[in-house]
Structure 1
Amino acid sequence: MDQFDVKLLQALQSNGRLSNFELADVVGLSSSQCSRRRAALEDAGTIASYHAHLDRGALGLGIVVFVQVTLATHSPDNSRRFSKLIESLEEVQEAYALTGEADYLIKITITDLKALSRLLNDVFLPHDSVAHVRSSIVLDCLKQTARLPLGHLIPVETSKPRPAMNSRARGEGRRRPRKA
């Protein structure tokens, strides 16, 4: 991956709808080169997908909740049952297996508190894989992004050593006039 690929990825993270012509203008390559690079990044799986980012508030999904889940038992079978539960719930936006006190952290987007209560009391708590649930309702979102940090992919420019100067360029061999 070179600097052009990184520029291409940064541009697509900002606007995934850029045409190859527009992308070429941003990246500084021809549109055919951008097209080939984009296709190669897609084939390699670096660009996983393109999607529309929907506004949850405009769709009536006003509540975001983080739920910590502790499993009833720690076994592969229990983990699989819990994973199947998570996969079946459209309200679950993200789910992470954790180290520490809780076994999982689940991000849920939902319409209102009544719907949250139903989800927790009627789905999570009665599930045979779940022992404990603790929820935290988001009051305000300080930052939300799907952009990945790419700075580590940009090579750091090092200062180039100056070329060696010959004695004449350094001023050696010339006599300076004496001051009287």
Structure 2
Amino acid sequence: MDRKDYQIVRALMRDGRLTNQDLAARVNLSPSPCLRRLRLLEERGVITGYAAVVDQKSMGYPITVFVGIRLSRHDRETVERFERSIDEIDEILDCFLMTGAIDYQLRVVAPDLDGYERFVRDRLHAIDGIASIDTSLAFGIVKQSRILPMPG
């Protein structure tokens, strides 16, 4: 990737609805070369998709919870079962494989504290192989960004 590719990616991270004309103007290219570069970035997997950024409170999920999971066993079957199960639960927005005291860090949304309790009891406890669940509630958001820094 060269500097122009990074400019294209950054412009789209800021506004994924840019037309090719607007994108080309923003990165100082003519439309045809801009579109060619964009298609190559998509083909190479640099740009993996486009999505609307939605306010979670407006959708009825004002509560954000960070959940640390430690598995009871680390054999292939337990790990694969856990990861398949997590992938099927819509309230889990992110799942990171971790180093240290916990095995996974989840970012979960809930409508309220009772809803989070139901989520733990009905969804997480149903997954075999979980040894512990550690919950931290987010009081608010100081910074939330999907815009990656430019290299260099």
Q: CA deviation at 1:123?
A: 2.3
Identity of aligned residues (%): 34
* Distance (Å, rounded) in 2 between the aligned partners of 1:10 and 1:128: 41
Q: CA deviation at 1:125?
A: 2.8
* Distance (Å, rounded) in 2 between the aligned partners of 1:38 and 1:9: 8
* Number of residue pairs aligned between Structure 1 and Structure 2: 152
| Pairing 1:7-26 to 2, within 5 Å after superposition | 7-26=7-26
Amino acid at match of 2:38: R
Q: CA deviation at 1:126?
A: 4.3
Q: 1:126 to 1:33 in 2, by over 3 A?
A: closer
Structure-2-length-normalised TM-score? 0.96
Q: Deviations over 1:4-25 (max 9, x none)?
A: 1111111111111111111111
The aligned counterpart of 1:163 is: none
The aligned counterpart of 1:49 is: 49
Are 1:150 and 2:150 matched, yes or no?
A: yes
Amino acid at match of 1:146: R
The aligned counterpart of 1:97 is: 97
The range that moved more, 117-126 or 21-30, is: 117-126
Whichever of the two has the greater Rg, that structure is: 1
* Distance (Å, rounded) in 1 between the aligned partners of 2:85 and 2:129: 9
The DSSP-based 3-state class of the residue aligned with 1:59 is coil
Structure-1-length-normalised TM-score? 0.81
Are 1:63 and 2:57 matched, yes or no?
A: no
- The answer on whether the counterparts of 1:125 and 1:133 sit within 8 Å (CA) in structure 2 is no
Q: Deviations over 1:126-162 (max 9, x none)?
A: 432101101001001111111111233xxxxxxxxxx
Amino acid at match of 1:100: G
The aligned counterpart of 1:177 is: none
The DSSP-based 3-state class of the residue aligned with 1:109 is strand
* Distance (Å, rounded) in 2 between the aligned partners of 1:145 and 1:95: 17
Q: 1:126 to 1:10 in 2, by over 3 A?
A: closer
| Pairing 1:23-172 to 2, within 5 Å after superposition | 23-152=23-152
- Relative contact order: is structure 1 or structure 2 higher (C-alpha 8 Å, sep ≥ 6)? 2
Following superposition, which runs of at least 4 residues in structure 1 exceed 6 angstroms of deviation?
A: none
* Distance (Å, rounded) in 2 between the aligned partners of 1:128 and 1:10: 41
CA RMSD between the two structures: 1.0
- The answer on whether the counterparts of 1:5 and 1:37 sit within 8 Å (CA) in structure 2 is yes
The DSSP-based 3-state class of the residue aligned with 2:145 is coil
